[in-house]
Structure 1
């Protein structure tokens, strides 16, 4: 951080630093990979958006592209496809080398604006909070120890227990709740899988594949490329890729329906 912030903080009091510390603890920016944080926050925000009825990654990005960016409107804010947005997410969040380029500044600004920032630069600058906090702690470290440690102990205790218990692990044909220290466990904070409904199944011709046109099953390929089916939306337990809803074309390929 530059000397300008140090100079400013030398003139502020302990109360300012206390308020800023609490802001820091509510900020989770990855300053080394801002695009990962940008697209992670985008999907999280879309899944919390009450206007998005279907919370799958695909439907969330469709909502963002069509409703927020207005791709279906005569004059969209920015023209981009759902597939391109998904490719950005896979590249920067899941580290999948899919050939996706770098998002344009206009798109990054619009995503940042949806996340309640002024623009992408404002999104990046929000990481300065952490640096300000470090300077505050350096200046008032003794006072922080006396004042804040007892106050922060309780929320950190609950946060730690939440983060270490909000994990799931795959067991044969279903997910089970477990601690995050379990081998093979993944955090369910991002995926929000309904593990009570999520099961791997073998489809047969006598099953009801659709209810009033809505698919009842999802599918994805395992590490050997074999297509597998599941009873709810989520990710494939092997590849960690998001599952797709079944279609009549997929069912026909599997020999489950005939025309």
Structure 2
């Protein structure tokens, strides 16, 4: 959008340079303000026109973005219906393709981000479930000692107690 405003301003001031005998910025601004009021009934102050010139043409000051009504009026000065008409008629096929492509790229980028977030949440949930399900939180007596097992509801399993697991062994000493 900013590029199109720049193009519009350059075109407007090119036309002013060709039509106006004044060479000063204030003279050109006065000419354009009178022309806009007389031909199009649009009031645009000389001061604003000077600011547009100094921002977009001579780049002496920071650019001030014109409102939609001003853009439309300046486009009418260039014999377009409005600013959108100016853009459409001056937009090359490449610009149109780039504009459409950038919209698709933004949409694709958004979809990728959303799918990554969903995948991270799903994988995190799956890892939590697997780690909880396969954790060995129980123990069972096997022959002469306790062994860690995953809780499964067996009759002889008990909750995991690390001290009992390490210390309790069947005494096999014969007297």
User: Which bin holds the TM-score, normalised by the shorter protein?
Assistant: 0.3 to 0.5
Q: TM-score, normalized by length of structure 2? A: 0.46
Which has the larger helix fraction?
Answer: 2
Which structure would you say has the larger Rg? 2
Q: TM-score, normalized by length of structure 1? A: 0.32
